[in-house]
Amino acid sequence: MNLMIFGLGYSARHFIEARADRFDTTATVTTAEKARALSRPGRDVRVFSPDERDAGIEKAIARADAALVSIGPDEDGDPALRAYGDALARAERLRTIVYLSTIGVYGDHGGAWIDETTPCEPTNGRSRQRLRVENEWLALGARAGKSVHILRLAGIYGPGQNALVNLRNGNARRIVKPGQVFNRIHVADIGAAIDACLTYKGAGRVWNVCDDEPAPAEDVVTFAAELLGVEPPPLVDFATASLSPMARSFYSECKRASNRAMKQDLGVRLTYPTYRKAMRALLAAGEGR
């Protein structure tokens, strides 16, 4: 399969590196330095930034069977859609587009369970922009006859990006806000969801990509500390915690996201359905040592 990836970041990179033998890939990054560092046999990395658009990107779109979009929106919308929407719509071989979004588009639901049928009521500008971009990708799919899948991701973690590493680096915190819970998703399970979308025979749709167990953030840090045999950092009251505006905005929303459709309809089997299973595996792989 010829795959076009917009934005070779953490999730997209883990996805393709676990499946390099199955794809002939063209991916975009924002600088020539990153392009040189991330190029591999079978992976052509091109520069796409506000200041530069590699001419090879449109040629790659024309021969692509599928596209993965892993670029966050800017203040004007989706950069990839804005620059290459027409080329993607014209691409005769292209059948499937997968867009990585966020469960943040649902907004705050007071800790209640939500699924893909729950109305989206985003509470901040970033999430409102995400929802707008989701709808623009779905509209492109309807207009051009492409199958567009929107993956609404929970909090992403995995190798190099987890509570074990944060504890080792001394920047783990246990912020406590009573009743607050978050879903998470291991990057390997994001890859499984992307893979399932690329082979899915039904129409494109929205999928929640999250674990089985929404839990307080401080519980994850406490468990990671137990695994490492170290004292966890002190509990800090959310009301008095020193947080960036973005970090504080995450705590303004509370919901429990269901992954039933992803498992039953898309056929994804989670390798890491809980943070405890994932943390044990990450520790065994040397994380936090």
**In this structure, is residue 237 part of a structural domain?**
no
**In this structure, is residue 117 part of a structural domain?**
yes
| pLDDT score recorded for residue 137 | 98
**In this structure, is residue 223 part of a structural domain?**
no
pLDDT-based confidence at residue 246 (cuts at 50, 70, 90): confident
**In this structure, is residue 288 part of a structural domain?**
no
| pLDDT score recorded for residue 63 | 98
The mean predicted confidence, pLDDT, of the chain is: 97
DSSP secondary structure of 155-210: EEEBTTBSHHHHHHHT---EEE-TT--B-EEEHHHHHHHHHHHHH--S---EEEE-
| pLDDT score recorded for residue 159 | 98
- Say if residues 45 and 8 touch (Cβ distance below 8 Å): yes
First to last CA, the chain: 38
The pTM score is 0.97
| pLDDT score recorded for residue 169 | 97
Token output for 172: 């783990």
Tens digit of each residue's pLDDT (9 = 90 or more) over 162-200: 999 999 999 999 999 999 999 999 999 999 999 999 999
Tens digit of each residue's pLDDT (9 = 90 or more) over 204-239: 999 999 999 999 999 999 999 999 999 999 999 999
- The Cα-based distances of 84 to 4, 34, 66, 79, 80 in angstroms read 12, 21, 14, 8, 6
CA distance 19 to 272: 18
Report the CATH number at residue 74: 3.40.50.720
Tens digit of each residue's pLDDT (9 = 90 or more) over 63-75: 999 999 999 999 9
CA distance 109 to 256: 8
In sequence order, what are the residues at sequence separation of 6 or more whose Cβ sits closer than 8 angstroms to the Cβ of residue 161?
10, 187
CA distance 99 to 149: 6
**In this structure, is residue 177 part of a structural domain?**
no
- The Cα-based distances of 90 to 59, 63, 85, 143 in angstroms read 12, 11, 9, 11
Output the furthest CA–CA distance in the chain (Å, rounded): 57
**In this structure, is residue 127 part of a structural domain?**
yes
What is the mean predicted confidence (pLDDT) over 112-136? 96
**In this structure, is residue 289 part of a structural domain?**
no
Positive/negative CA dihedral, 161, 166, 172, 174: positive
- Say if residues 77 and 131 touch (Cβ distance below 8 Å): no
pLDDT: which is higher, 46 or 124: 46
Whether residue 102 has pLDDT greater than 90: yes
Whether residue 247 has pLDDT greater than 90: no
The domain containing residue 97 runs over which residues? 2-158+184-212+256-271
**In this structure, is residue 239 part of a structural domain?**
no
Token output for 109: 């639901």
Tens digit of each residue's pLDDT (9 = 90 or more) over 9-29: 999 999 999 999 999 999 999
Work out the number of other CB atoms within 10 angstroms of the CB of residue 70.
Answer: 23
Whether residue 85 has pLDDT greater than 90: yes
Domains of the chain: total = 1
| pLDDT score recorded for residue 228 | 98
Work out the number of other CB atoms within 10 angstroms of the CB of residue 135.
Answer: 12
CA distance 245 to 198: 36
Map residue 260 onto helix, strand or coil: helix
